[in-house]
Amino acid sequence: MNLFRTTSRRLLPKRPTYHRTLFSLPSFPPSGEQTYHEQKIFPYKRSELYAIVSDVSSYPQFIPYCTGSRILHKATHNGSTIMDAELTVGFMAFQESYVSKVTCTPFSSVEAVASSSTPMFKSLKTVWRFQPAGEKEHNTLVSLDLAFDFVNPLYASLSSAFFDKVSGGMVTAFEKRCDEVCGRGRV
């Protein structure tokens, strides 16, 4: 039984026809924000799932295309942990690093927003939310919202082509990590 429900997904507008002359570069589609949303009920406590997502240093161990991560700065404010984290991602022949401000609100959410000084993205925001689900104490509704827009038109074009694969792979990797850390299918 597939518990994932994709409630919204918006890709780039319909692609125009591309052309190039003998001595020019190809034209790329206009870039635009891409969004992704998924929800699933997991048989684990909110605290366990929150611990996995808030452990930014472990991302290269399980998040596809994440080849490195390091915490640049970490502080606590009003009960939340706020970090500046540098993530390195690689896809095909491309590898880039960017800095995000990560706000971890215990057992409730983890939000990452790319720094405005990051040359890779016009915008990048990832939000994980953890809510009680049903009457069982161990069931948690996990929501993932992802919105991004690349500066580089080549990256925008590539992300448009591989958007479903990358987004779906991230969710599948999270499921696998939960099973490894928390125990498979515990009820």
Q: Domain holding 164: CATH number?
A: 3.30.530.20
**114 inside domain:** yes
C-alpha to C-alpha distance for 30 and 123, rounded to whole angstroms: 15
Q: What is the pLDDT of residues 121-172, one digit of tens each?
A: 778 899 999 999 987 778 999 999 988 887 767 666 666 656 666 677 788 8
Would residue 2 count as lying in a domain? no
Q: How many domains does the chain have?
A: 1
Q: What is the DSSP letter of 16?
A: P
Beta-carbon contacts of 94 under 8 Å, excluding residues fewer than 6 positions away, are: 155, 158
Q: What are 4's two structure tokens?
A: 């994932």
Q: Looking at the domain assignment, is residue 129 inside a domain?
A: yes
Question: Considering the domain boundaries, does residue 25 fall inside one?
Answer: no
Q: C-alpha dihedral over 98, 153, 30, 34, to 10 degrees? A: -40
Residue 178 lies in a domain: yes
In order of 125, 149, 187, the CA distances from 146 in angstroms are: 6, 10, 28
Round to whole Å and give the CA distance between 110 and 126. 8
User: Where residue 21 falls among pLDDT bands split at 50, 70, 90?
Assistant: very low
In this prediction, residues 55-63 reach a mean pLDDT of 95
β-pairing, 34-42 with 109-114? unpaired
Q: Is residue 14 part of a domain?
A: no
Percentage of the chain lying above the pLDDT 70 cut? 72
Q: Is residue 125 part of a domain?
A: yes
Over residues 111-123, mean pLDDT: 81
| Strand 66-77 to 34-42 pairing | unpaired
Q: How far is CA 14 from CA 10, 17, 48, 123, in A?
A: 11, 10, 41, 21
Tell me, yes or no, whether 12 lies in a domain.
Answer: no
- Enclosing domain of residue 52: 33-64+107-182
